[in-house]
Amino acid sequence: MNAMQTAQHSRIAVVTGAGSGIGRAVAVELLLAGWSVALAGRRTQTLEGTAALAPEGTGGASIAVRTDVSRPDDVAALFAATVDRFGRVDLLFNNAGTFGPGGVPVEELPYDAWRHVVDTNLNGAFLCAQAAYRQMKEQDPQGGRIINNGSISAHTPRPHSVAYTATKHALTGLTKSLSLDGRPYGIAVGQIDIGNAATDMTAGMGAGALQANGEVVPEPVMDVADVARTVRHMAELPLGANVQFATVLATAMPYVGRG
């Protein structure tokens, strides 16, 4: 199979955090575009709910794999199940994450809460990327793509978000290192940084979000479908092209300038 045929026919994705929010929207977007998708998340019921939004016959096939991305054995089982069902992995959307306890000052943040955010957002992203990298390096045809879900917090923090912000900054380093190390094997790695997509996680922003000056101000949000379309564009580029970093945000959110 030549490179052009590979680009046309290899559409096998793993999406973590696929049971809700951005992960669900991206998984459905890929399924409806004809990708076959391994849906990974902590709760099988929510993964099955995602699959039901793109039933067989309307697009690609899917499997639901209960996965805690912070557990190496779970991650290994996820990729083994994907390869067993679909034969290879062409895309990892490294999306699973948690904000942790919101609004907690640094001096009051419990260590267990810090560790939970780090284990999910950073260690989990590393474990999934490592498993994808290993598979992509060894499969024939070789190569694939990893897209890490960063955040606006990968650039600048919100108040009282030390664990989340630290992990999202770390994801940028992970993206750059993987991108460099993947070059010899046709593994393209990029990152999407998202601001105020309308999901359960951002549901309270319309009522008001804490700003750097101490005020609580309502913030605009954007349709999560716009994020999903951006991820699909990144995913469907030929492996000779890569979106290294993309920032997609609600146009009027207080991010650029003094906001």
Distance (Å, whole) CA 122 – CA 118:
5
Give the dihedral sign, CA 48/120/203/232: negative
Write out the DSSP string of 7-33: HHH--EEEEETTTSHHHHHHHHHHHHT
Q: Using the CB atoms, write b or e for 8-35: b if 16+ within 10 Å.
A: eebbbbbbbbbbbbbbbbbbbbbbebeb
| Residues catalogued as catalytic | 164
Asked whether the beta carbons of 217 and 224 are under 8 A apart, the reply is no
Max Cα–Cα distance, the chain, nearest Å: 58
φ/ψ region of 85 (left if φ > 0, alpha if ψ in -120 to 50, else beta) reads alpha
CA atoms within 13 A on the CB side of 146: 33
Exposed / middle / buried, residue 218 (Cβ in 10 Å: 0-12, 13-18, 19+): exposed
Residue of 170, 172, 157 whose CA lies nearest to 180 = 172
Structure tokens at 205: 């922003």
H helices of 97-161, where? 111-118, 124-138
Look up residue 151 and give its two tokens. 């955040």
